[in-house]
């Protein structure tokens, strides 16, 4: 790796890297910018509905804004909950008069908070203002099918949102599994509703799905104790049921209740169970019991936590960083068992140790068609450098050289700078040979792991150059990391 004292060598190297034409390469000056569609889809990548997680509020309607007798289960209104990032709502629907209106009540009709149509209007307004968002509603229902269906249909029609209600038949979920979230967004199917009273019922152009034929759920009664273990409630199938019985390919959605419905102080309990205990219960109990992360993390007082630094929103954000499914991207690579770095973007393109510089100091890093049998120039290993204790790695070629960002006289170079291989440093110099290795999910089944590699010095990612990805040989560069 060039040092400041080696001025002549640095100038020679930088002149080489600046040449407009190299015998081995067809160069491109810029990476193609992402399309608007790609940017819009980046919130979920290719993840399916059952691969995402959402903060869900228990008794979302029983909040302090309704001025009902204490103790409520939430302190913020449904609008505030949605604005804050809550995407799952648990509502209890009743018809006290038998003829409507449907109201949101708790434990019978003696304690009702607001009309269901008012809460539904809030949800629809939010979805119409936020076209990338998906909201799921769970109805513990005591109203008649006719009254409930009419309330929902009338509200959606009044808001010209008839197509908003999810229709499972559109996607054939029983055999094809849940659709990709990006497809639900593009199709406008962004209000998913479950009810526990009947089999699936059609409402307008959508469906109110039966809760217990599409979901599994933990128990919710622990007395005054904190939630623990991960056992299914009585109505639920086993948490690791997959596929759901009666289907050939439907993964049940998994609701984890992180509250005790018997606790007489929901607010106080939330400050104990909504932080480190929540994170630990997912990682050490529920993930193992269900063989997957919870989709809906149901809590009281979702904004409360202990002092651990973990909140329901941050815990769920961490789950989604793992669940996010990356699309093929020039900065996302598969590392196979033969130590080849295979791009997810190009057509069978591998990172290769390219031609050596004439003075023997190093050489270019290029991309070529992945070869079989495997040449040693196609092999790279990840190795911990002896001088670093901050979690970074060398990416070493088979000849022992390190993947390197040009030193550029000490100024971090920008996007599209071609990388090279160079003798590995024996001590920390600029960080241009140090890489952070980030594993990611690249298929909707969750079985295939990819990686992106972030340079410690520049903060940019190891990237296959799109413009030369169809040539016999092309560039491997650094560029902005994939958007999330």
For residues 401 and 270, membership in a common domain is answered with no
Cα distances from 10 to residues 237, 353, 355, in angstroms, run 66, 20, 18
Q: Is residue 43 part of a domain?
A: no
CA nearest neighbour of 345 among 482, 180, 179: 482
Q: At 19, is the pLDDT very low, low, confident or very high (cuts 50, 70, 90)?
A: very low
Q: What is the mean pLDDT of residues 353-373?
A: 93
Choose one of 299, 323, 347: the last residue of a domain: 323
Residues 374 and 433 in one domain: yes
Q: Which of 231, 225, 295 is nearest to 261 (CA)?
A: 225
* Domain identity same for 287 and 370: no
Give the pLDDT confidence of 303-336 residue by residue, as tens digits. Answer: 999 999 999 999 999 999 888 898 889 999 999 9
Share of the chain above pLDDT 70, in %: 90
Lowest mean pLDDT among 61-65, 155-159, 169-173, 299-303: 61-65
Percent of the chain beyond pLDDT 90? 76
346 and 397, same domain (yes or no): yes
pTM, 2 dp: 0.79
Q: How confident is the model at residue 42 (pLDDT cuts 50, 70, 90)?
A: low
The answer, yes or no, to whether residue 7 has pLDDT greater than 70, is: no
Q: What's residue 68's pLDDT?
A: 54
Q: Is residue 22 part of a domain?
A: yes
Decide if 484 is inside a domain.
Answer: no
What digits encode the pLDDT tens for the residues 205-254? Answer: 999 999 999 999 999 999 889 999 999 999 999 999 999 999 999 999 99
Q: Binning pLDDT at 50, 70 and 90, where does residue 66 land? A: low
Q: Is residue 457 part of a domain?
A: yes
pLDDT (0 to 100) of residue 25: 26
Asked whether the predicted pLDDT for residue 93 surpasses 60, the reply is: yes
Which of 290, 308, 323 terminates a domain? The answer is 323
pLDDT score, position 465: 96
431-463 pLDDT, tens digit per residue, is 999 999 999 999 877 778 899 999 999 999 999
Give the residue-averaged pLDDT of 69-83. 89
Residue 192 lies in a domain: yes
pLDDT of 257? 97
Same domain? For 318 and 465 the reply is no
What is the pLDDT at residue 180? 95
In a domain, 1, yes or no: no
Which CATH number do you get for residue 252? 3.20.20.190
Whether residue 30 has pLDDT greater than 50: no
Query: Domain check: are 230 and 183 in the same one?
Result: yes
Asked whether residue 446 is domain-assigned, the answer is: yes
Q: Do 29 and 102 fall within a single domain?
A: no
Same domain, 21 and 68: no
Q: How far apart are CA 450 and CA 440, in angstroms?
A: 5
* 479 has pLDDT over 80: yes
- Summarize the confidence of residues 344-350 as an average pLDDT: 91
Domain boundary among 323, 352, 384: 323
Q: What is the pLDDT of residue 67?
A: 55
CATH of the domain at 332: 2.80.10.50
pLDDT over 60 at 411, yes or no: yes
Within-domain flag for 106 = yes
Mean pLDDT value across residues 265-291: 96
How high is the pLDDT of residue 70? Answer: 57
What is the model's pLDDT at position 39? 36
Say what the pLDDT of residue 406 is: 94
* Residue-averaged pLDDT of the chain: 89
In this structure, the answer to whether residues 464 and 356 fall within a common structural domain is yes
- Count of the separate structural domains present in the chain: 2
What average pLDDT does the segment 176-189 reach?
Answer: 96
Average pLDDT over residues 265-278: 96
256 and 277 both lie in a single domain: yes
Question: Rounded mean pLDDT of 400-419?
Answer: 94
Contact indicator for 184, 168 with CB cutoff of 8 Å? no
**pLDDT score, position 65:** 62
- pLDDT of 13 over the 80 cut: no
| Confidence at residue 371, expressed as pLDDT on a 0 to 100 scale | 93
pLDDT band at 483 (very low <50, low <70, confident <90, very high): confident
Mean pLDDT of 72-96: 96
**Do 366 and 283 fall within a single domain?**
no
318 and 342 co-located in one domain: no
CA neighbor of 437 nearest in space, from 480, 479, 386, 381: 381
Which residue range is the domain that position 418 belongs to?
Answer: 7-38+328-479
User: Does 192 score more than 90 pLDDT?
Assistant: yes
């Amino acid at each position: 790796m060039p040092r400041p004292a080696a001025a002549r060598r640095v100038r020679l190297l930088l002149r080489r890297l600046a040449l407009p034409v190299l015998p081995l390469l067809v160069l491109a000056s810029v990476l193609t910018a992402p399309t608007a569609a790609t940017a819009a889809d980046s919130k979920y990548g290719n993840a399916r509905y059952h691969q995402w997680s959402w903060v869900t509020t228990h008794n979302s309607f029983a909040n302090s804004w309704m001025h009902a007798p204490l103790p409520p289960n939430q302190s913020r209104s449904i609008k505030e909950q949605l604005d804050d990032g809550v995407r799952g709502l648990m509502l209890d629907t009743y018809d006290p008069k038998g003829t409507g209106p449907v109201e949101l009540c708790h434990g019978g009709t003696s304690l009702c908070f607001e009309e269901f149509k008012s809460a539904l209007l809030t949800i629809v307004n939010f979805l119409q203002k936020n076209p990338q968002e998906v909201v799921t509603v769970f109805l513990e229902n005591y109203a008649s099918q006719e009254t409930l269906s009419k309330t929902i249909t009338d509200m959606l029609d009044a808001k010209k949102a008839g197509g908003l209600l999810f229709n499972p038949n559109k996607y054939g979920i029983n055999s094809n599994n849940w659709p990709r979230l990006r497809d639900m967004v593009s199709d406008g199917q962004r209000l998913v509703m479950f009810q526990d009273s009947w089999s699936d019922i059609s409402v307008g152009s959508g469906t109110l799905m039966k809760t217990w034929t599409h979901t599994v759920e933990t128990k919710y009664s622990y007395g005054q104790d904190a939630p623990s273990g991960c056992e299914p409630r009585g109505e639920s199938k086993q948490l690791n049921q997959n596929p759901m019985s009666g289907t050939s390919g439907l993964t049940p959605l998994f609701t984890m209740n992180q509250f005790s419905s018997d606790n007489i102080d929901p607010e106080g309990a939330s400050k104990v169970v909504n932080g480190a205990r929540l994170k630990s219960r997912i990682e050490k109990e529920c993930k193992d019991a269900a063989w997957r992360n919870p989709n809906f993390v149901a809590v009281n007082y979702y904004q409360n936590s202990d002092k651990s630094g973990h909140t329901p929103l941050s815990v769920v954000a961490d789950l989604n960083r793992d669940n996010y499914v990356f699309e093929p991207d020039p900065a996302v690579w598969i590392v196979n068992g033969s130590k080849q770095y295979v791009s997810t973007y190009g057509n069978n393109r591998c990172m290769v140790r390219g031609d050596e510089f004439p003075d023997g100091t190093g050489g270019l890093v290029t991309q070529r068609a992945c070869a079989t049998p495997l040449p040693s120039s196609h092999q790279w290993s990840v190795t911990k450098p002896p001088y670093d204790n901050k979690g970074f790695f060398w990416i070493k070629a088979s000849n022992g050289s390190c993947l390197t960002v040009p030193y550029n006289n000490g100024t971090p170079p920008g996007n599209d700078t071609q990388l090279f291989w160079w003798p590995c440093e024996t001590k920390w110099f600029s960080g241009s040979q140090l890489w952070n290795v980030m594993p990611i999910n690249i298929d909707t089944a969750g079985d295939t792991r990819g990686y992106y590699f972030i340079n410690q010095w520049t903060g940019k990612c190891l990237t296959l150059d799109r413009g030369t990805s169809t040539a016999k040989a092309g560039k491997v560069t650094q560029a902005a990391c994939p958007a999330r």
